[in-house]
Amino acid sequence: MSITRRFPPIRPALVVTCCECGTATSAPVEVRYIERQSGPGFPLYACPGCAPSLVPGPHRNDAIRNR
């Protein structure tokens, strides 16, 4: 058995830019989900330092209720 079969390559972690401070982070926290009419939506991520100070939501699985 070859070494590459025993130890297959590990995919790199998701590295995204924080929506608050703009730094790249490999430990992103999803804080918001932006819906778009023209296509699929996209999540906004924050770094672990900024995430507690941001108001969370809405996320992609949140139900929006009309009053």
Cα–Cα distance, 23 to 39 (Å, whole number): 27
Amino acid identity, position 32: R
- x-or-dash string of contact with Zn ion, 2-41, rule CB under 5 A: ----------------x-xx--------------------
Measured distance CA(5)–CA(3) in Å, rounded: 5
**Smallest distance, Zn ion to C-beta of residue 46, A:** 5
Say if CB 17 and CB 27 are below 8 A apart: no
- Considering the complex, what minimum distance in angstroms separates the CB of residue 32 from Zn ion? 13
Site size toward Zn ion (CB under 5 A) is 5
Instruction: Give the footprint of Zn ion on this chain (CB under 5 A).
Output: 18, 20-21, 47, 50
